[in-house]
């Protein structure tokens, strides 16, 4: 019987996960298809319920459902529960288990880019599912200071309160604070930090926000690393702005492949063929003109 893995989200036109996940499945000759399921809000529960069928191995979950999907699952592993966001679901014999592989994907890509987060100052733009993974990753990596800036301030407050509780429980000294999405606040936070991570959807191809950057050139100091989780296009408006300002840049593509590789291992129990996945992801982006 052919098995299936789905990508659940909305919108999904920008996604290249099918290309690099299918390449990894084909590398092992597995009879498994990785398919997009663009799901409108009201249908999320029934689409997740369908993942219990024997032909389903599970799913990836993306914008905007990473937090909402938690309550629809039977259980989550410790990390996904702490983070409060799930990007990978495994169908364990009809029981749905949630994981968060964004945390490991984010940190692996950051360290591959030679950035050691310990004792550094960081700013996260956004407070959705991806920002939650990045926030917990940075606190676990022992950053000294972390600001979360979000358009909906209450959401940033919630994330910061969860991060502060986690840091306290683990005896970590990270200072965390929430800031409103106002130019004056953004300017101060961004000027004094060493790492900026864009976890908003601003700049995503095939959306109304394509071509938009959350920051302007004059806000950025030289030497800061600007890490944009948006990976399509490869060079977002934010990364262009950062390069012009003399900042270092990191695209979301390596994180995408590393989070996908960790998910692949959860579904198949096989070692992810990383170079095959990277090649397929690069080719898919090029084909899309990214
Ligand atoms: P999400 O849960 O829907 O959160 C979206 C975030 O974007 C929220 O903080 C939202 O603010 C903010 N936002 C949306 N429109 C905005 C605007 N016009 N101005 C300012 N802020 C705005 O999405 P997500 O799952 O966290 O994903 C966020 C991005 O990260 C997506 O582009 C996704 O593709 C990318 N991502 C990449 C990877 C990777 O591996 N590279 C992994 C995960 C996610 P409000 O709270 O005010 O709505």
DSSP the chain: --EEEEEEES--TT--HHHHHHHHHHHTT--EEEEEEE--GGGHHHHHHHTTSTTEEEEEE-TT-TTGGGGGSSEE-HHHHHHT--SEEEEETTEEEEE--HHHHHHHHHHHTT---TT-EEEEE--SHHHHHHHHHHHHTT-SEEEEEESSHHHHHHHHHHHHHHHHHHT---EEEEEES-HHHHHHHHHT-SEEEE-S-TB-TTSTTBT--SS-GGGPPTT-EEEES--SSSS-HHHHHHHHTT-EEE-SHHHHHHHHHHHHHHHH-S---HHHHHHHHHHHHHHTT-
* pLDDT 10s digits, 16-71: 999 999 999 999 999 999 999 999 999 999 999 999 999 999 999 999 999 999 99
* pLDDT 10s digits, 93-126: 999 999 999 999 999 999 999 999 999 999 999 9
Is 137 touching ligand 1 by the criterion CB < 6 Å? no
Residue nearest (by alpha carbon) to ligand 1 atom 7: 200
* pLDDT 10s digits, 221-272: 888 999 999 999 999 999 999 999 999 999 999 999 999 999 999 999 999 9
Instruction: For ligand 1, pick from 110, 128, 186, 213 the residue to mutate: most ligand atoms within 8 Å of CB.
Output: 128
* Atom in ligand 1 nearest the alpha carbon of residue 66: 25
Kindly tell me if the per-residue pLDDT of 288 is higher than 90: no
Q: pLDDT band for position 13 (50/70/90)? A: confident
Determine the pLDDT at residue 188. Answer: 87
Q: Which residues are catalytic?
A: 66
Kindly tell me if the per-residue pLDDT of 171 is higher than 90: yes
Structural domains of the chain ordered from first start? 3-100+256-287 (3.40.50.10860), 103-251 (3.40.50.720)
Is 256 touching ligand 1 by the criterion CB < 6 Å? yes
Is 201 touching ligand 1 by the criterion CB < 6 Å? yes
């Amino acid at each position: 019987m052919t098995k299936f893995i789905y990508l659940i989200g909305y919108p999904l036109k920008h996604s290249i996960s099918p290309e690099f996940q299918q390449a990894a499945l084909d590398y092992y000759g597995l009879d498994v298809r990785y398919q997009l399921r663009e799901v409108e809000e009201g249908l999320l529960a029934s689409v997740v319920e369908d993942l219990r069928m024997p032909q389903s191995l599970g799913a990836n979950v993306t914008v905007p459902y990473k937090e909402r999907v938690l309550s629809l699952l039977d259980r989550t592993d410790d990390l996904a529960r702490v983070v409060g966001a799930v990007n990978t679901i495994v169908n364990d014999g009809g029981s749905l288990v949630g994981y968060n592989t964004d945390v490991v994907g984010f940190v692996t890509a950051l360290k591959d880019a030679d950035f050691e987060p310990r004792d550094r100052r960081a700013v996260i733009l956004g407070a959705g599912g991806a920002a939650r993974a990045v926030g917990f990753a940075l606190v676990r990596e022992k950053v000294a200071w972390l600001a979360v800036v979000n358009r909906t301030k209450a959401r940033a407050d919630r994330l910061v309160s969860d991060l502060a509780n986690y840091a306290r429980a683990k005896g970590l000294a990270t200072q965390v604070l929430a800031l409103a999405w106002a130019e004056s606040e953004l300017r101060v936070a961004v000027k004094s930090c060493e790492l900026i991570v864009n976890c908003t959807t601003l700049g995503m191809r095939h959306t109304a926000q394509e071509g938009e950057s959350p920051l302007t050139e004059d806000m950025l100091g030289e030497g800061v690393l600007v890490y944009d989780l948006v990976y399509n296009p490869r060079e977002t408006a934010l990364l262009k702005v950062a390069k012009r300002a003399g900042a270092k840049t990191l695209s979301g593509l390596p994180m995408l492949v590393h989070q996908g590789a960790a998910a692949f291992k959860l579904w198949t129990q096989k070692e992810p063929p990383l170079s095959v996945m990277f090649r397929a992801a690069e080719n898919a982006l090029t084909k899309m003109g990214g």
